[in-house]
Amino acid sequence: MNYYKEIKKLLINNEVYKKVKDYSKNRNDLETYYNVGKLLYDAGSKYGDKIIENYSKKLISELGKGYSVRNLRNMRQYYKITEKWQTVSAKLTWSHFCEILWFNEDKILYYIDIAEKQNLSVRQLREKIKNNDFERLPEKTKSKIKNNKKQNINDLIKNPIKINTTKNYEKITEKILHNLILDNIENFMMELGSGYSFIGSEYKIKIGNRYNYIDLLLFNYIYNSFVVIELKVTELKKEHIGQIKTYMNYIDKNIKTPIHDKTIGIIIVKKDNDYIMEYCSDERIYKTTYKVN
């Protein structure tokens, strides 16, 4: 087989296809680069790895830039991971895959999953990688990804949760922390995981004759649960757990309907130089730390 001739033909056909069939050009890109990757893999097995450098020079000379050694190696790697898993997402673009192709298997699967569920642009995906999203997952979550086990709502809560600001604060108060989160609520919900929607800030409830205010009330449509979030600028204390339990019980009795699962609680606390996930005794309550960047 003339590997170079076949590779060149596939790439030319793809360039033509992209000009006339916009509606499905992404799928054609992925199919083309898979097939090119296979030919590169087979050619490399027969002639050695230097064949990619030779093919790259010829393709750039005959077809123009876009077929660098790096790009051809990405195509070969795309073929290898696709073969391993049989199928990968057609919802992501080639540019998405180029960001993650060289990670380990668990990391690739994680970023494919969140890019799909959160409909991430390439820029947003790159930002999550830069912020070490995968590395901040609990170890048990990484184990679940590796073993393809079902994940719970707490499994995707990062530790620490990163809260960005352009200002320098000598001291972070609960009010400042609250406002920083509200300034970029979408990013905050993505830090928690997938499927969150915003219901209210300082959500007003009445317990007995007294009004109380839940710092943040969210809903997760994937897990069909209301989520009560309390913000603290100290380490976790017993009274924090009692407080959030009271709020969760209120939501369960007064807002949750029979079709919803039990309310979940998340306490976000500060712990200097220690960002290890800790769990409260109530399995519905999760604790994480925050880090203001």
SS3 172: coil
129-157 pLDDT per residue, tens: 998 999 998 888 888 888 878 887 777 78
User: Which helix or strand (DSSP H or E) is residue 196 part of?
Assistant: strand 196-207
Structure confidence at residue 276 (pLDDT): 33
Confidence category of residue 86, pLDDT binned at 50, 70, 90: low
For the full predicted model, state whether its pTM sits above 0.95: no
Average pLDDT over residues 226-249: 89
Confidence category of residue 277, pLDDT binned at 50, 70, 90: very low
191-218 pLDDT per residue, tens: 888 899 999 999 999 998 999 999 999 9
Percent of the chain whose predicted confidence (pLDDT) is above 70 = 91
Structure confidence at residue 79 (pLDDT): 95
Structure confidence at residue 21 (pLDDT): 63
Q: Residue length, the chain?
A: 293
| Structural domains in the chain plus CATH codes | 3-130 (no CATH), 150-292 (3.40.1350)
Structure confidence at residue 279 (pLDDT): 38
Structure confidence at residue 275 (pLDDT): 30
- Report, in angstroms and rounded to the nearest whole number, the Rg of the chain calculated over CA atoms: 24
Average pLDDT over residues 61-66: 89
User: Which helix or strand (DSSP H or E) is residue 93 part of?
Assistant: none
Structure confidence at residue 16 (pLDDT): 85
Amino acid 78 reads Y
Q: Which residue has the tokens 């360039």?
A: 15
Peptide bond into 138 cis (omega under 30): no
Structure confidence at residue 280 (pLDDT): 45
DSSP state of 159: S
What percentage of the chain's residues is helix, strand, coil (to nearest 5)?
50, 15, 30
Average pLDDT over residues 111-136: 92
Average pLDDT, the chain: 87
Average pLDDT over residues 53-81: 94
Q: How many other CB atoms are there within 10 angstroms of residue 249's CB atom?
A: 14
